[in-house]
Amino acid sequence: MFHMPPDRRAIDQYRIPPPKNIKEVPGYLGKLLSSFFKRLWYIIKLVWEASPAIVFVMSFMALFDGVMPVLGTYISGQLINKLASAYTQEITNFSIITWLLVAQFGYILFTSIIRRVDGIVVRISGELVSNHIKIKIMEKAKEIDLKSFDSPEFFAKMENANREAGNRPIQVLNSSFSIISTVISIISYFFLITVIGVLPALLVIAVAIPSTIINFVYRKKNHDYVFRRSKDRRQMAYYSEVLVNKDLVKEVRMLGLADDFTNRYKEVFKKYFGGLKRLMLEEMWWGIGATLLTTVVNCILFVSIARGVFNAEYPVGDYSMYTGALNAISGGIATLITTSASIYEGTIFINNLISFMEEKRTIVPNIDPPRDVVRGIGHTIKFENVSFRYPGTDHDTIKNINLEIEPGKTVVMVGLNGAGKTTLIKLLTRLYDPTEGRILLDGHDLREYDVQKLYDMFGIVFQDYGKYAVSVRDNIAFGEIMKEIRQEKIEEAAKNSNASGFIEILPDKYDTPLMRYFEENGTELSIGQWQKLAIARAFYSESDILILDEPTASLDAIAEQEIFNQFDELRGGKTSLFVSHRLSSATTADKIIVLKDGQLIEEGDHAQLMREKGEYYTLFSTQAKRYITPVDDYEEHPEDHHNRKPVGDNIFKGDKNYEGTFPG
């Protein structure tokens, strides 16, 4: 799967509008600082939660990085001064030079050790913080409403927060402490250089500003360009992913699509890179100009300091000390601006994470304390004027549904694709709340119940059931995850779903790892086998209401009928709700619900709906023509039976629930 770039709206949500006039500048700067420190504090809290020691080590490194370079510059300058004095025989005792050399190499050794320790600490910190944030994201994800996952904006925030959890917090915190150490260094060097005057230091600061402004401006321009061309980035990621996707490689190879997708990638890259290259060249020319200005000014200052040494105004070692200080001040100013730009980029991650963690859950009980679900009884379900509209859409998917399902009854929902069958199941299981109306369980609003206890009541197989890269046993046991795994119950569930046949011939039977994601001996199942495992999960769960949302779509008609028969035998009086495109399974249901365009247009049993000759009659008879050949016509003309259409009531021979004849 390709990674989406950070969502633009996540940044705009926290963007501070620029000042419109000079009077608004102080307020604007105040808001910027307040926003910066708010995010910095949030990051510090994240890192502190992962390990307080990380914050202490980084604080120490900020002070160390601020002071030690100045100390190193001072030692080098003094060493050169003493060597020059020895050369002119002003001093004859070598011991002071020895101690300065020891100090210099002690400084080098100490700095190297601290740098090595700091590098290891940063790597360890990255792992700890990454783990901490990923767990926070996982904990948050388990309680977020399903509707949030339907929002591209939310999904982009979640994906980017999860993807960058490993490096962004440490990077931003390092950058923030780097600013502190840089300020300490600049101040220290500033005082060091005041011996030759304040003006050179101020001049170096002034000429450093243009190059750093250019750096910051073009960092922002590049950043904005990437967001404006996010579609290009997604297309390039998608086209490159197609050629290495293991699920698509067979079709890509057989259809010869590789060159086509490669050419698509090249075309998009050409457009995307054109604008990016233009920005890079602009930045290069502006940078060359700023570098030329800085070089000229530094050259003048260095000549001035050299003249002072030449005229014996300063010791010879002061040349390296003062010029090093000027270079450090210039570099420090550049570091301040570029580090601020780095922190600005880091806030994209922080904004995504903050926004993700602040996502509010709405699927919660509307009374306190919530109502408990009474288990082990037949449940009455009632829809009262229920309508539903998916977030971000302008039309209702479910329209004013009124429906009652009696305890222990078997109900089959039928309808064309898009009729609203799966959406109705999502509302019944309270993955969503109705936009209008209410759903009653045993006479009480579904929203009054404890949500997790409500979920535990359902044994469900979704149309897009899960395929989990764990063992066969675990795939089945997920149906009742809170209880201890019982092997005999696992095997019974597999038998009831007709999965035991293929499981027994797997290399390690129920211990066989599925999918080749992690294990070399992982086994890839067919779609039909996966479907039987998903159904086994439903059999394994001790639920009060069984819901099957087209669970047998990948099975042949005989296997499907066997599973429906098994469910009918094993449901033990439980309320059951099935969705199936093969309408033969509906003939024995207590009630058939017919949906069309989100509306309930018919309900009744098979015989009743066939007599009414409405939508169900049309669907059933159309499907029956595809499967059943007229017996009498076949016996009379076997040589061309495949060219003839069903006539009379032969379609329904053997259907004891159908009363009456089908018109010819």
Q: Could you tell me which of 180, 182, 234, 205 has the C-alpha nearest to residue 1?
A: 234
| 344 and 485 belong to one structural domain | no
* 412, containing H or E segment: strand 410-414
> How confident is the model over 424-444, as pLDDT tens digits?
888 888 888 899 999 999 889
> How confident is the model over 531-547, as pLDDT tens digits?
888 888 888 877 888 88
Burial 481-511 (b: 16+ CB within 10 A, else e): eeeeeeeebbbbbbebbbbbebbeebeeebe
d(CA 605, CA 651): 18
* Cβ–Cβ < 8 Å for 607, 657: yes
If you average pLDDT over residues 355-359, what whole number do you get?
A: 79
Residues near 294 by beta carbon (within 8 Å), at least 6 away in sequence: 207, 208, 210, 211, 330
| 313 and 237 belong to one structural domain | yes
* Cβ–Cβ < 8 Å for 533, 472: yes
Q: Looking at the domain assignment, is residue 418 inside a domain?
A: yes
Instruction: Give the model's pLDDT for residue 95.
Output: 79
If you average pLDDT over residues 626-642, what whole number do you get?
A: 47
> How confident is the model over 403-417, as pLDDT tens digits?
898 888 888 888 887
Q: For residue 514, what is the DSSP state? A: B
pLDDT at residue 203 is higher than 70 = yes
Whole-number average pLDDT of the chain? 76
> How confident is the model over 595-610, as pLDDT tens digits?
888 888 988 888 888 8
Give me the percent of the chain exceeding a pLDDT of 90.
2
Q: Output helix, strand, coil percentages for the chain, rounded to the nearest 5.
A: 65, 10, 30
Q: Could you tell me which of 386, 372, 545 has the C-alpha nearest to residue 448?
A: 372
Bridge partners of 440, per DSSP, are 382, 445
| 417 and 286 belong to one structural domain | no
> How confident is the model over 56-98, as pLDDT tens digits?
887 888 777 777 777 777 777 777 777 777 656 666 677 777 8
| 83 and 149 belong to one structural domain | yes
| 106 and 201 belong to one structural domain | yes
Least confident stretch, 175-179, 303-307, 647-651: 647-651
> How confident is the model over 318-340, as pLDDT tens digits?
667 777 777 777 777 777 777 77
CA-to-CA dists, residue 411 to 243, 372, 587, angstroms = 45, 25, 11
pLDDT band at 110 (very low <50, low <70, confident <90, very high): confident
Least confident stretch, 48-57, 217-226, 377-386: 217-226
Instruction: Give the model's pLDDT for residue 644.
Output: 40
Least confident stretch, 224-233, 271-280, 414-423, 644-653: 644-653
Here the tokens at position 117 are 């320790």
Instruction: Give the model's pLDDT for residue 317.
Output: 65
| 50 and 182 belong to one structural domain | yes
| 328 and 417 belong to one structural domain | no
Bridge partners of 386, per DSSP, are 401
CA dihedral defined by 86, 87, 90, 94, rounded to 10 degrees? 20
393: how many CB neighbours lie within 10 A of its CB? Answer: 9
| 287 and 179 belong to one structural domain | yes
Q: Looking at the domain assignment, is residue 317 inside a domain?
A: yes
| 323 and 454 belong to one structural domain | no
How many domains does the structure of the chain reveal?
Answer: 2
Domain boundary among 333, 357, 381: 357
Q: Looking at the domain assignment, is residue 285 inside a domain?
A: yes
Here the tokens at position 68 are 């030690």
pLDDT band at 130 (very low <50, low <70, confident <90, very high): confident
Instruction: Give the model's pLDDT for residue 637.
Output: 44
| 344 and 457 belong to one structural domain | no
pLDDT at residue 2 is higher than 50 = no
Q: Looking at the domain assignment, is residue 293 inside a domain?
A: yes
Q: Looking at the domain assignment, is residue 547 inside a domain?
A: yes
Instruction: Give the model's pLDDT for residue 28.
Output: 65
> How confident is the model over 449-498, as pLDDT tens digits?
988 888 888 888 777 777 888 888 888 888 877 777 888 888 888 888 88
Burial 148-166 (b: 16+ CB within 10 A, else e): beebeebebbbbbbbebbb
DSSP 287-316: HHHHHHHHHHHHHHHHHHHHHHHHTTSS-T
Q: Looking at the domain assignment, is residue 56 inside a domain?
A: yes
If you average pLDDT over residues 275-282, what whole number do you get?
A: 87
Q: Please give the residue range of the domain that contains residue 347.
A: 8-16+31-357
Q: Looking at the domain assignment, is residue 487 inside a domain?
A: yes
Which phi and psi (to 5°) does residue 33 adopt? Answer: -65, -40
Domain boundary among 341, 357, 373: 357
**How many C-alpha atoms does 283 have within 13 Å on its Cβ side?**
17
| 350 and 412 belong to one structural domain | no
What's 510's domain CATH number?
3.40.50.300
Q: Looking at the domain assignment, is residue 1 inside a domain?
A: no
Instruction: Give the model's pLDDT for residue 92.
Output: 63
Positive or negative, the CA dihedral 340, 344, 349, 352 is positive
| 458 and 311 belong to one structural domain | no
- 12 vs 626, higher pLDDT: 626
Give me the percent of the chain exceeding a pLDDT of 70.
80
Radius of gyration of the chain (CA): 37
What's 74's domain CATH number?
1.20.1560.10
Instruction: Give the model's pLDDT for residue 383.
Output: 92
Least confident stretch, 265-269, 325-329, 646-650: 646-650
- 398 vs 301, higher pLDDT: 398
Residues in the chain: 664
